[in-house]
Structures are given as C-alpha cells and as structure tokens.
Chains A and B, each alone.
Chain A
Amino acid sequence: MPSVSLNVNGQAVSAEVEGRTLLVDFLRDHLGLTGTHVGCDTSQCGACVVHLDGKAVKSCTVFAVGCDGVEVTTIEGLARNGRLHPMQEAFQENHGLQCGFCTPGMIMAGVDLVRRRGKSLDESTIRAELDGNLCRCTGYHNIVKSIQAGAAKM
C-alpha cells in the first residue's frame, strides 16, 4: 500500500492507505475526524469541504495519497487554543445552522470565501459563491448572514 505523510490540524500524520482511499474517508475512518461529512457521491453537497494548504477543497474529490506534504485543516482544527474562529462564532450568533450536518462544510467554505474575496462581502456575492454547498434546513438565509458577519470579524 502506498504511504502518505501530511499535516492535519497542525499534527504530522503518516499512514499507509489504499490508492483509492478518498481524503474524506482517510480523515473520518483513519484519523477519527468525523466533523467532515459525506452528504453525496457526486461532489455537489459540500459537506466535506476542508482546507488544503489554506484553500477550500471538497475532500471527497481528493485521494489521500495525493495529499503528501499537504497541510490539511478540518473543522476540528479551526478553533485555536479553545477559542472559536470568528466564522464559527458567527454561525452560532446568527443561527446559521439547524441540523448541523452541512455546517462544517459551510464554515470551511465561508472562511475560504473571505480569503478569496475579502472581508466585506455583499449578500449576492455570498449567495453566488455558495453554489457548491447544499443546506436543506436553513433556506440559506441565516448562513448568508453568518458568513457576512463572520467575514467582517476575521
């Protein structure tokens, strides 16, 4: 089996994995990081979004072996030293989640959106940029509000 060495949430990780193992399965099944979710088979729902070297990626579209030398950040690694990330706080403050299943992907996508488009985000930009993240509970209304508020505080 091929081996892979990567950094996950600040920790060095080395493992042997099957060539076909997806990054999301590696995170969930090998590392027990179950905050990253699988909601579809077709890379549509975005529940599995993590950051690879700081950029948002759907971890169901990436092979674990392809992540050699990569820094991976998952939802579990977003809060630092017990302090929530401003985007996490904003989701709680603005009721940006209900069942919570899409939430890790939404938060990780939101953080990446700020990296790419800046802290001052208008509503239509956020709505357009969320094209790759599905939510069935919130009607997106409060997710948009959360990302706007979280961006401003980042």
Chain B
Amino acid sequence: MSDTGIGARVRRKEDRRFITGRANYTDDINLKNQTYGYFVRSPHAHATIDSINISQALKAPGVIAVLTGEDLAADKLGGLICGWMIHSKDGSPMKVGPHPALAQGKVRYVGDHVAIVVAKTKAQAKAAGELVRVSYGELPAVVDPADAQKSGGPPVHDLAPNNTVFEWALGDKAATDGAFARASHVTKMNIVNNRLVPNAIEPRAAIGSYDAASDHFTLYTTSQNPHVARLVISAFVGIAPENKLRVVAPDVGGGFGSKIFIYAEEVLCLWASKRIGGRPVKWTAERTESFQADAHGRDHVTEAELAMDQSGKIIGLRVKTIANMGAYLSTFASCVPTYLYATLLSGQYNIPAIYAEVDAVYTNTAPVDAYRGAGRPEATYVVERLVETAAREMKIDPAEFRRRNFITSFPHQTPVIMTYDAGDYHASLEKALGLADYKGFPARKAAAAAKGKMRGIGFSTYIEACGIAPSAAIGSLGAGVGLWESAEVRVNPVGTVEILTGSHSHGQGHETTFAQLASDRLGIPIDNVSVIHGDTDKVQFGMGTYGSRSGAVGMTAIAKALDKIEAKAKKVAAAVMEAAEGDVEFKDGSFTVKGTDKKMAFGEVALAAYVAHKFPSNEIEPGLKEGSFHDPSNFTFPAGCHICEVEIDRETGMTEIVNWVAVDDFGTIINPMIVEGQVHGGIAQGVGQALTEACVYDRESGQLLTGSYMDYCMPRAHDFPEFKLGFTETKCPSNPLGMKGCGEAGAIAAPAAVMNAVTDALGVRDLPMPASPHRVWRTIKGMRLAAE
C-alpha cells in the first residue's frame, strides 16, 4: 500500500480552504445587482387563505416585487414532486396532494410558503414581509401520526380521505400469522420513532439568477444532488429546459438527507429573478426557517411483535407502522417508510416469516423525508429493541440470543425482498464484546451502584442496505429515477487527472478518497488528481450523494472509467513503442512491453495521446478521456455491532454514556481516517435522537414548539465519550472495489444501543426517545414510589 493509495490515512486535500476561511458556501456568493428574497410563511398549521393584500408591502422602502401563489398559478408553473410511487395493498396508487411552491388557497403547516418579497436588501425584504396582510380562515389541525386517520376534521388534502397517503404491506401475512400461532414466546412492543430536525449547521440557501440576453437561468443552492434538482426544476416545475438551467451546489455545509430534496425556495428564487427582469434573488434560511421548513426525519408510530420458539429462535416478526409524511410528499418521502424500512426488518437474523404493514399519513406538519439512514434506523430500532427485550424476557443473554439467530450463510434471501450478499455477524459481535470488556460489565455495574449510579449496557447489531440498486429493480418498485452514478476521467496532456463525478461531497471527503483511488490505479501522485463535482455545467449528469452510495456506486463508476483509460492508454503506448497491444503491461504508473526494456511513464503516454503524431488517428482517436455510468447489480449490506454503556444519576436523571464500542463491516475501506469520522458523526446523530432531540408540535394547534436551538436540544461535545472503533471486513461482491458504504451506520445503530442500555440501567421494559433527564428522572421516581 502506498502512503496515498487505497487504505491509507491520507489527510484531506480539501481541508485548507475550510480551515482558512476560504471555502465557498452558497451564502458566501454574491452576484452583481443581487436582490434578496424573504418568505412570508404561514403562522397557522391549517387554514384557508381568504385574501392576500400586498399593497402596503409594495410601498415599503427597497421593495421590488411581492409575489404570491396567484402569480405562480398565472405563470402555469408545476408543483414540487414526489419521485417514488407506492401502491397500496388494494393496488391503488398513493394519494399525492398538489404541492405548489407558493400555497394556493390553503396553507398546510406552520412555515408553509405564502409569498416571496424581493427587495434591495435583506432587512428591507424582511421588513416588507411584515406588511403583507394575509387573511386566514383557521381549520382544525392534525399533528400526530396516530391521530391522522381518525381525526374526523378536514383532511390535509381533499383527495386523501382520512389523511391516508397509502396503506402498504410487505411479506407473507399467512406464514407470519402461522408462526405466531405456534410461538412459545411473543414479545410485543409499542415503539415510537421520534421526529427529528436534520440541522445541518449550514442553513439552506439559494441564489436564482436569470439572464434575459441568453434566456438562461443559474441556481446556486445547498444541494446534495444538483443534477436531480435541475431535472425536477426543468421537467416538472417547468422553470426552463435543462440546457437553459445551470445548477451549482458549491461547498455545502452538511446535508444528512435534508439537502437532497427540491424545495420551494430554490424554485421561487429562480422564478422571481425572471419576474423582476433578471436581477439575481438570494435567500438564506434563518435557523427558525430551517426548523419550520426543512424536511424532517423519522416520526413513526409502530406496534411490533417478535415470535420465538422455546429455544429462543426467532420464528416470526409482525409490524404495523404509521408513518408521518407531513403536509406534502417531499421528493423521496414515500420510499423511506416502505422500501428503505420494511425491507430491513430481518436485521441480521434468520427470520422465516415477516409481515409489515405501513400506513403513510398526511398531517399539518413540515414534510418528512430521508434523514441520515432513512428508514433503516427506524427498522433497526424496531428489530433491536424487540430482540433485546425478547432476550431479557426469555432470560437469555442478549449476545447469546443474537448468536442463536444470526444469519451465517450467504447469499441469504430474507422474506422481505433483500438478498444479503456477504457478512460475518458473529465476527463483529465477538470483536465488539472483546473491545467492550463485556465480561467485566457486572463488576462495573456493581462499582457504579456503590457510588449511587445505575449502570446499563445495550447492544445494537444492525444491518443496512446502501448503494440502492439496480435501477431496473427499484424502477419496478416505484422509483421514478435510476440510481446509477456517473464518472468521467479526464487525463490532461501532462498526465495530471481530473475526475468528474455525479456524486456530491458535503463533508464526506470525496476530493481526497476519489483522488486516492485514481492515484492508486494510475500510479501517479495524489496531488496530480483533482476531483470536480457539484456543477451541472461541468459534470454531465449524476445522481448525487445520499444513502451511503458515493463509495460503492460513485467510486465504482470512477474505477470503470479508469479501466477504460488504461485500455486506451495501452493502445497509444503500443503504437508509440511499436509493440503489440497485448504485450503492453501497466503497473505502478508505467507502461512496459513484455520481454523488452521499453517503458513509458503514464504522463508520456498521455502526452503522446494528445500530440497524436505516433499513431494512425483513423484507428486510435487522439486524446485521453473516458466516462462510465455504473449501475450496481445489488444493494450493499454494511453491518456491525455497537455496544453502549451508560450510567444514570438517580438524583438528576442524567444519562452519561461511559463507553461506546462500534465494530463495523464496511467491506473495503479507502481511507480509515475518513471512515472513522463518518462513524463518529453517525453515532452522535443517533445518540442525539436517543437522548436529547425531539421535534415537537403542539398536538392541538400544530404550532412548532421546537423552533430554535433554545428548544431543540442538539447534542454537544460533553454528551459523548471517546468512541472505541473496530472493523471487520467481508468484501462486497457486487462491486470491484468490495466497498459497502459507511455514512449512515452510526445513526442506524446508535438509538437502539442507547435505549437498550438505558432500559437495562433503569430495569424497565419501555421508555420513549429521547431519554431526557426529566423523563428518566420521572421513571426513577416512579420506581422508587413503587418500591416504597
């Protein structure tokens, strides 16, 4: 292994601009003659818009335009779309409520977009926004997913009676019912997966710019997938055809899913720019707007049952989930609680029968869509809470219970679509048990008790599916897009290389890891490789970054393009060295001719390809540039074991995580330093869900009660111990690099590990997330009262 190749802990190439304050985020960009947009948002969760009076606002200083839903309708622009069609059990298509970028006739959540005010300065736009007079007719709101189908009030969308988007099912009901009928033990739980706000620290932002002379639009936006944004804004919203719309996602300050989606603000900044004659319109969210109108995550209410035989072997799993979609179906909302959720309910276990029903519902809350893990954290939480609880109820050690049920031979077909290709769940469990000193836990628990602390331990042996694929398969399940990835490798005449990728880096370090791959493959210094992404004018098309796909799918596309580069370069080298193409070998950056001392460096061959003097150009085209579109043949299946140990203070209810062990199998690891960072961050988000974070709407009024960092408790540095990480490796067989993906594992594994530990410490069966000090303290108090 070279010190910059695959497997090396290469320091990030992109870091310098970030640590010196020279990065280029969307809000850092300022265009000539720029104006500022401010959004008038609904203060009500559910109301008719009876009238909008903009006359005062129009007279305010600096105001250029005030545009409403009527203007949008007049321009006949399309609405925002949901790109995955789900069919209900009865075969009917999901009920898609119209989603205009500016509300028309009705608002459906607090923060819904009512008007855009465009002014010369941000302050002027905001001040004028206060002068837009909207007359609302308030309607009863529905907030909780458990209430949505039986509220009896006016539905969020008239076309969806009882607020039901779809009633979907997966698995064999009869076989599962049969398993439960013969079970010797059944563990049944009511499980709530709390609603979260993604909270990338960079708020969303957009600059829309229309150039009348060329009839061309440019959008700078905080996006994880600028090409998909361009596709939707062109083909569905109808702002402009794709050749007249450039979308740039420059440095993006974290996404976690929330910046996948195509939002009203992006569309409206573009549209408003044309409406005002071409001056650019810029908008940057305030944090409260992020809380109100970024797509939220999770929000499931579930009843789940696990059936065991007398030996503790799982024989069936039955799940009924109600998933909150919010007020509109966001871009990928419908696939999250279905094909990204129920398909993972087999966990790491050999479960012969599984049946899951998922009802998706509209409520008067912000749209809910993919958030780090997207469905898989929800599935893991259900499975791992059930498994741990079942083990406790059956008086079997939770590690041993898992051992008895692990899948051990591959490929393994689960009852819920997935074919697991490779894994070794015993290996990750045993390694984690060692790192966590599981044998020493009883002594540590006793020592904690001696100082008045309640100590608990919890496991989470998770599995996820990444690199969502193949395109044809997901198409048959309702996806509106293919989920391949593109790459282009451009070799310059001097032998330096530019890699253009359709994936997007917003913290994942692609500019380093992708360069490691090319450097390793071509035998050239890593500094000679640059990675280009995030601009539809530079990269032809791509699907973006989410679902831990950039390695397994994006890098495989690069690897295939590099194969083509080698093949073409061999032709050139053969011609120049006057050898048969089959005799040319490429190794460590040099082309040699078998059995001779003839040799050309990679850079020399590149130059020869561009100079084009030494080969017949009717046989070999000049230049050295190749591309690839890679469509994977299967999902990848990262898996592992996380063990959390907590101590709880009886007097305050404070939970302290005192030990965290994560052993993950991500297949091949390109850069361990970056992978460890992904795991750390994922765990932190999962711990946040379990201990501190909750997005809360008032159940009656639909007002957002957690609208800032004063109310929504983000995890801080002192909420965590030093994480202990380990890795096991089984290669992924469906891509040549053997990679599986690592971006979401921590967020998927962590919540169950924490809650299994907290309930172990407290000696209780059920406790909802987040296990806040207040909630834990009340639980302890209740126990004490009962004991007294």
Q: Does A140 contact B (CB under 8 A)?
A: yes
- List CB contacts (< 8 Å) of B24-73 with chain A: 25, 27-28
Q: Does B784 contact A (CB under 8 A)?
A: no
Q: Are A142 and B201 in contact (CB under 8 A)?
A: no
Q: Are B201 and A42 in contact (CB under 8 A)?
A: no
Nearest CB of B to A2, in Å: 16
Nearest CB of A to B666, in Å: 17
| Of B235-243, B249-257, B264-272, B616-624, the one with at least 4 CB within 8 A of chain A | B249-257
Q: Are B677 and A95 in contact (CB under 8 A)?
A: yes
Q: Does B200 contact A (CB under 8 A)?
A: yes
Nearest CB of A to B386, in Å: 27
| Of B342-350, B441-449, B505-513, the one with at least 4 CB within 8 A of chain A | B505-513
Option from A92, A102, A128 in Cβ contact (under 8 Å) with B15: A92
- List CB contacts (< 8 Å) of A67-124 with chain B: 74-76, 78-79, 84, 88, 91-93, 95, 97-104, 107, 123-124
Q: Mark B657-683, 1 if CB is under 8 A from A, else 0.
A: 000000000000000011011001111
Q: Are A98 and B509 in contact (CB under 8 A)?
A: yes
Contacts of A34 in B (CB 8 A): 21, 25, 27-28
Q: Does A152 contact B (CB under 8 A)?
A: no
Nearest CB of A to B657, in Å: 11
Complex Cα distance A91/B12, Å? 10
Option from B12, B202, B253, B723 in Cβ contact (under 8 Å) with A92: B12
Nearest CB of B to A137, in Å: 5
Q: Does B451 contact A (CB under 8 A)?
A: no
Given contacts A103-B18, A138-B680, A141-B680, contact A41 B708 (CB under 8 A): yes
Name which residue of chain B comes closest to A91, CB basis: B19
Contacts of A124 in B (CB 8 A): 718
Q: Are A144 and B199 in contact (CB under 8 A)?
A: no
Q: Are A127 and B718 in contact (CB under 8 A)?
A: yes
Nearest CB of B to A110, in Å: 11
Contacts of B251 in A (CB 8 A): 99-100
Given contacts A88-B19, A99-B507, contact A41 B684 (CB under 8 A): no
Name which residue of chain B comes closest to A40, CB basis: B287
| Of B353-361, B452-460, B709-717, the one with at least 4 CB within 8 A of chain A | B709-717
Option from A36, A127, A136, A139 in Cβ contact (under 8 Å) with B199: A136
Given contacts A130-B717, A134-B714, contact A98 B20 (CB under 8 A): no
Q: Are B201 and A141 in contact (CB under 8 A)?
A: no
Name which residue of chain B comes closest to A131, CB basis: B716
Complex Cα distance A19/B19, Å? 31
Q: Are A136 and B287 in contact (CB under 8 A)?
A: no
Contacts of A65 in B (CB 8 A): none
Given contacts A98-B254, A136-B201, contact A141 B723 (CB under 8 A): yes
Contacts of B14 in A (CB 8 A): 100
Interface residues on A, range: 35 or more
Q: Are B11 and A39 in contact (CB under 8 A)?
A: no
Q: Does B203 contact A (CB under 8 A)?
A: yes
Q: Does B23 contact A (CB under 8 A)?
A: yes
Nearest CB of B to A3, in Å: 19
Contacts of A139 in B (CB 8 A): 680-685, 720, 723, 746
Option from B21, B287, B673, B677 in Cβ contact (under 8 Å) with A36: B21
Contacts of B19 in A (CB 8 A): 75, 84, 88, 91-92, 97, 100, 103-104, 107
Given contacts A76-B20, A92-B12, A127-B717, contact A140 B287 (CB under 8 A): no
Q: Are B20 and A84 in contact (CB under 8 A)?
A: yes
Q: Does B22 contact A (CB under 8 A)?
A: yes
- Counting residue pairs across A and B whose Cβ atoms lie within 8 Å, the total is 173
Name which residue of chain B comes closest to A104, CB basis: B21
Q: Does A143 contact B (CB under 8 A)?
A: yes
Complex Cα distance A127/B715, Å? 12
Contacts of B254 in A (CB 8 A): 98-99, 101, 136-137
Q: Does B722 contact A (CB under 8 A)?
A: yes
Given contacts A102-B201, A126-B717, contact A92 B11 (CB under 8 A): yes
Q: Mark B686-725, 1 if CB is under 8 A from A, else 0.
A: 0000000000000000000000111000101110101100
Complex Cα distance A136/B716, Å? 9
Q: Are A128 and B677 in contact (CB under 8 A)?
A: no
Q: Mark B124-137, 1 if CB is under 8 A from A, else 0.
A: 00000000000000
Complex Cα distance A137/B718, Å? 15
Contacts of A40 in B (CB 8 A): 287, 708-709
Option from A39, A93, A99 in Cβ contact (under 8 Å) with B203: A39
Q: Are B201 and A99 in contact (CB under 8 A)?
A: yes
Option from A35, A107, A135, A143 in Cβ contact (under 8 Å) with B201: A135
Given contacts A39-B287, A40-B287, A138-B680, contact A95 B21 (CB under 8 A): no
Complex Cα distance A130/B723, Å? 17
Q: Does B613 contact A (CB under 8 A)?
A: no
Given contacts A140-B720, A141-B680, contact A35 B20 (CB under 8 A): yes
Q: Does B138 contact A (CB under 8 A)?
A: no
Name which residue of chain B comes closest to A36, CB basis: B21
Q: Does A37 contact B (CB under 8 A)?
A: yes
Q: Are A140 and B717 in contact (CB under 8 A)?
A: yes
Q: Are B21 and A35 in contact (CB under 8 A)?
A: yes
- List CB contacts (< 8 Å) of A1-57 with chain B: 18, 20, 28, 33-42, 44-45, 47
Complex Cα distance A100/B17, Å? 9
Contacts of A45 in B (CB 8 A): 201, 287, 709
- List CB contacts (< 8 Å) of B506-549 with chain A: 506-509
Given contacts A35-B21, A39-B201, A88-B19, contact A98 B507 (CB under 8 A): yes
Q: Does B730 contact A (CB under 8 A)?
A: no
Complex Cα distance A143/B284, Å? 27
Name which residue of chain B comes closest to A130, CB basis: B717
Q: Does B286 contact A (CB under 8 A)?
A: yes
Q: Are B252 and A99 in contact (CB under 8 A)?
A: yes
Complex Cα distance A41/B680, Å? 27
Can you name 21 A-B pairs with beta carbons within 8 Å?
A35-B20, A35-B21, A35-B23, A37-B202, A42-B287, A42-B708, A44-B709, A45-B709, A84-B19, A92-B11, A92-B16, A99-B253, A100-B15, A128-B717, A134-B714, A136-B201, A137-B507, A137-B681, A138-B684, A140-B716, A140-B720
Interface of B toward A, CB cutoff 8 Å: 11-12, 14-23, 25, 27-28, 123, 199-203, 251-254, 256, 284, 286-288, 506-509, 673-674, 676-677, 680-685, 708-710, 714, 716-718, 720, 722-723, 746
The 10 closest A-B CB pairs, nearest first, are: A35-B21, A101-B253, A100-B18, A139-B684, A99-B507, A98-B507, A139-B680, A75-B21, A44-B709, A34-B28
Apart from A37-B253, A88-B19: 11 A-B pairs, beta carbons within 8 A = A42-B708, A98-B681, A101-B253, A127-B716, A131-B717, A134-B709, A136-B256, A137-B681, A139-B680, A140-B720, A144-B722
